[in-house]
Amino acid sequence: MKNYSFRVLVPFNEETKTLNPPNNLRNSIFLAGPCPRFDYEDDWRYTAFDILEELGFRGTVITPTNDKYSDMERHQPEALWAQTEWERTMMHICSALVFWVPRCEKWPAFTTNVEFGEWYKKPGVYFGFPDDAIRMKYLTLKFTEQKKTWYNDLKKMLSDVVNDLQKSPERKWGRHRNTRRCNHKWQDVCRYRIHHRHNSNHSNQRKCSPL
């Protein structure tokens, strides 16, 4: 990966062998959308990184792409569940949640459909897809029902994201005020949840949530 003027936050920390905590996420952008499963160099987010560098963004860019997932499985209990919780936490905390969906046969974006359904009504959410993306009518319809603008140009969307964050300093703190309480203890909380996941009922799981 290139060196950028902003910080790129990935899920797994190779040094600590744990998930990266949600620290210092003021002025942050989460890049949601389909992730590569094998060829990690073939990721649309590299284009997004270059665009954000060109736009002069200086915050944190959060990517769910985890090219160290196989390594994570060896060190992190219930790796899939842990990554899912990490992504949900970061989506909740970030200043802007950006969905770019280049859906095609190679990138079916099944997980993205679920995540979009969970977040599209909330503030600070952006959505777009290239002109050649397939099966996007329903997501577009639901987003338009919220009187939100969707994009067919990644650069235009990211430019508007950066401009919106610059115009609204309060938004930089995140889309939800209570997420300021998240700190370095999040890792301990997450490990606690994983350890007790099978020994707690659904209600207790929610009480242990870092959010």
CA 210 to chain centre: 16
What are 183-208's pLDDT values in tens digits?
444 554 455 444 444 444 444 443 33
77-117 pLDDT, tens digit each = 788 898 899 999 999 999 999 999 999 988 899 999 999 99
HSE (side-chain half, CA atoms, 13 Å) at 97: 23
Least reliable range by pLDDT among 53-62, 140-149, 153-162, 175-184? 175-184
pTM of the model: 0.82
| 27 touches 58 (CB < 8 A) | yes
Alpha helices by DSSP H, listed for 128-209, are 137-145, 154-167, 186-196, 202-207
